[in-house]
């Protein structure tokens, strides 16, 4: 029988949310946030944990074993998935971050991410469906006509309507300018034709209909630079002839989340927003999408870390003959467990802090504060997304190491965690793309976010080893700004590693200096101290690699 995850420990999630950067200001931003006293927050997290334990954890095993299947042109989800989705909707979880005016509960982003972490810890494939629903709702709320909003947003909030984000095509993934899907103007609207791939929950039997947010070329095909616009294709209008599922991808992990290739054949569509501005309009959802990847990474990292710690306390090996000791007593096992725990604690803290900044960037009454917070959010997004992906995979791999041969078997959930985690470094742009985005856009083009981060982090970590790490980060940024493009590209990945180290160090410094004395805080402070004890040596290495330039890459010529 497969081993279960340890019980949820919500004390650290609740404490981190309460102590996160400027959360006390966030709860005063909007009327719907004002009800969130400490008791209400704990109650919401407890209900989420109960649903995750009772419903999602058992479902996760079925979804991983059987996955989704394509039968008769439609996707059929794993046994129990429909019932779990119905319970998810009935308990109001589908509406937590939708706007109140369209039937949502309009809870603040940090709390919504804390809930998502809990669900993704138990069943990350299940959590893949609400994310595109919420992202689609943001696009529609920002750019659609009032009648379209009224027709779609309540149905998305209630969980009645599914949604997808259709961007990628074969040969045109991150390079959207190679897109071939076309939108043709017709007397009664638009028609979409083309194929889109890598579409999470591109089809399923959980909702009666799906609305697809589709990027397509709206020019006549002769333009030097493609005109890319955003369209909605509603399957209630397009029908199965207009939108067909060509296949479900056979994947390494996340088996219960159907990743589909869709064919649009003259599908009726509605233009959303301004023609030719589709790609730019997509950025309205980038904060939530990248933080959702971070939350999924955190959920997977937490499950792996918890299993490893629980196992190490019970597994006995070494010591006197006939009296073996728990392996948690061994120094190297403790080192491994500290690394896993530091990942989860610091990733959670960083994710919540960024979510608070996103709320302040959207709703603060001070224009200068909104601008500063927005710059910080843009600086942090590639960091949070990549750190979440890295922590998930590292923790799953590390948990297998702690469990030894047992961890490599399907009896324990960490082998699935490894498989599920691997794709996170690909979602929303690979880690290499995130590195180039961070360096080119947030350092070379406009370093307002970097400067704001350095100011905030130095204020919190002035008397800690973080200070040296921040100096190295600033120095690497200055060197790369003046470097040749080839040297910049060669150093981008190491610069991102240095930025992640420093960002986690900021959280560590806050933990050490600001948290209280109760048990949950003691564990967080210990994780922070561990990170700060090791930060300088790691920072020196990342800095050296970042500024080294493209010289070592010249050796690739032997393989060209």
The residue from 276, 310, 338 where one domain ends is: 276
Judge whether 512 and 525 are in contact, CB under 8 Å.
yes
For residue range 212-258, what is the model confidence (pLDDT) as tens digits?
999 999 998 777 788 999 999 999 887 778 999 999 999 999 999 99
Answer with the one of 253, 276, 299 that is the final residue of a domain: 276
In a domain? residue 152: no
Instruction: Please tell me the distance from the alpha carbon of residue 388 to that of residue 58, in angstroms, as a whole number.
Output: 24
Can you give 118-135 as a three-state secondary structure string?
A: HHHHHCCCHHHCHHHHHH
State residue 87's pLDDT score: 97
Instruction: Tell me if 90 is assigned to some domain.
Output: no
- What contacts 286, CB < 8 A, 6 or more positions away? 381, 428
In this predicted structure, what is the pLDDT of residue 220? 82
Alpha carbons 417 and 412: distance in angstroms, whole number: 10
- Bridging pattern class, strands 209-217 and 228-234: antiparallel
pLDDT tens digits, residue range 41-99?
A: 999 999 999 999 999 999 999 999 999 999 999 999 999 999 999 999 999 999 999 99
Give the 3-state secondary structure percentages of the chain, helix then strand then coil, rounded to 5. 65, 15, 25
- What are the phi and psi torsion angles at 404 (to 5°)? 70, -140
Dist CA 479 CA 463 (whole Å): 25
Q: How many domains does the chain have?
A: 2
Assigned domain for 30 exists: no
Q: Which residue has the tokens 């794709």?
A: 423
8 Å CB contact between 315 and 327: yes
The answer to whether residue 383 sits within a structural domain is no
Closest CA to 129 of 70, 68, 45: 68
Is 130 part of a structural domain of the chain?
no
Q: Which residues of the chain have pLDDT under 50?
A: 1
Per-residue pLDDT tens for 255-271?
A: 999 999 999 999 999 99
| Phi, psi for 169 (deg, rounded to 5) | -135, 165
511-518: long-range pairs with CB below 8 Å, 24+: 511/345, 511/349, 512/464, 513/460, 514/19, 515/15, 515/19, 518/15
In a domain, 528, yes or no: yes
Residue recorded with tokens 């869709």: 262
CA distance 323 to 407: 24
**Token couple for 427:** 């979602």
CATH code of residue 220: 2.40.110.10
Q: Which of 233, 257, 276 is the last residue of a domain?
A: 276
Distance CA 114, CA 299 (A): 9
pLDDT at 1: 38
pLDDT at residue 3, rounded to an integer:
60
Pairwise CA distance, residues 550 & 480, whole Å: 12
Strand partners, 476: none
How far is residue 213's CA from residue 479's CA, in Å, rounded to a whole number?
Answer: 41
Residue 246 is assigned to a structural domain of this protein: yes
The pLDDT score that the predictor gives to residue 6 is 62
pLDDT for res 10: 78
Alpha helices (H) in 144-178, listed in sequence order: 146-158
Tally the residues of the chain.
Answer: 560
Answer whether residue 86 is part of any domain: no
Instruction: Judge whether 428 counts as a catalytic residue.
Output: yes
For residue 220, the enclosing domain spans 162-276
Nearest to 553 by CA among 474, 487, 503, 496: 487
* pTM (predicted TM-score): 0.95
Instruction: Please pick, among 15, 117, 359, 428, the residue that the annotation labels catalytic.
Output: 428
């Amino acid at each position: 029988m497969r081993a279960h995850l340890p019980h949820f420990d919500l004390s650290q999630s609740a404490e981190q949310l309460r102590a996160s950067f400027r959360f006390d200001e966030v709860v005063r931003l909007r009327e719907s946030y004002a009800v969130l006293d400490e008791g209400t927050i704990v109650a919401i997290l407890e209900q989420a944990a109960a649903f995750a334990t009772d419903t999602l954890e058992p479902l996760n095993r079925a979804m991983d074993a059987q996955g989704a299947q394509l039968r008769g042109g439609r996707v059929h989800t794993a046994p129990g998935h429909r019932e779990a989705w119905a319970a998810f909707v009935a308990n109001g979880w589908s509406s937590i971050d939708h706007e109140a005016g369209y039937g949502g509960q309009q809870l603040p982003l940090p709390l919504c991410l804390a809930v998502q972490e809990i669900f993704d810890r138990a069943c990350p494939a299940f959590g893949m469906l609400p994310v595109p629903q919420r992202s689609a709702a943001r696009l529609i709320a920002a750019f659609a006509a009032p009648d379209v909003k009224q027709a779609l947003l309540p149905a998305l909030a209630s969980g009645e309507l599914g949604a997808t984000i259709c961007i990628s095509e074969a040969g045109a993934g991150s390079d959207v300018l190679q897109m071939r899907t076309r939108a043709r103007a017709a007397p009664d609207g638009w028609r979409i034709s083309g194929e889109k791939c890598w579409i999470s929950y591109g089809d399923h039997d959980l909702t009666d209909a799906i609305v697809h947010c589709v990027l397509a070329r709206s020019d006549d095909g002769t333009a030097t630079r493609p005109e890319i616009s955003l369209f909605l294709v509603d399957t209630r209008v397009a029908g199965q002839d207009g939108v067909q599922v060509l296949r479900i991808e056979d994947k390494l992990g996340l088996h219960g989340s159907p990743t589909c290739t869709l064919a649009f054949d003259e599908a009726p569509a509605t233009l959303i927003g301004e023609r030719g501005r589709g790609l730019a309009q997509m950025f309205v959802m980038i904060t939530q999408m990248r933080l959702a990847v971070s939350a999924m990474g955190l959920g997977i990292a937490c499950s792996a870390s918890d299993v490893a710690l629980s196992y190490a306390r019970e597994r006995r090996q070494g010591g006197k003959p006939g009296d073996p000791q728990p392996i948690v007593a061994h120094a190297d096992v403790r080192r491994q467990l500290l690394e896993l725990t530091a990942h989860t604690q610091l990733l959670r803290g960083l994710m919540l802090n960024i979510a608070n900044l996103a709320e302040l960037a959207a709703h603060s009454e001070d224009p200068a504060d909104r601008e500063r917070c927005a710059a910080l959010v843009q600086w942090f997004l590639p960091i949070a997304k990549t750190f979440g992906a890295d922590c998930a995979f590292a923790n799953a791999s590390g948990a297998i190491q702690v469990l030894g041969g047992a961890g490599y078997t399907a009896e324990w959930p960490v082998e699935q965690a490894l498989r599920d985690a691997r794709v996170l470094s690909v979602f929303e742009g690979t880690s290499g793309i995130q590195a180039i985005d961070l360096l080119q856009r947030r350092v070379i083009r406009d370093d307002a976010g970097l400067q704001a981060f350095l100011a905030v982090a130095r204020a919190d970590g002035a008397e800690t080893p973080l200070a040296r790490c921040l100096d190295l980060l600033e120095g690497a940024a200055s060197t790369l700004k003046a470097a040749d493009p080839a040297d910049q590209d060669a150093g981008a990945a190491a610069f991102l590693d240095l930025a992640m180290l420093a960002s986690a160090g900021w959280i560590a410094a806050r933990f050490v200096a600001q948290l209280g004395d109760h048990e949950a805080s003691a564990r967080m402070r210990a994780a922070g101290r561990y990170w700060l004890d090791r930060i300088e040596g790691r920072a020196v290495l990342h800095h050296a690699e970042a500024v080294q330039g493209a010289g070592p890459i010249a050796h690739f010529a032997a393989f060209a």
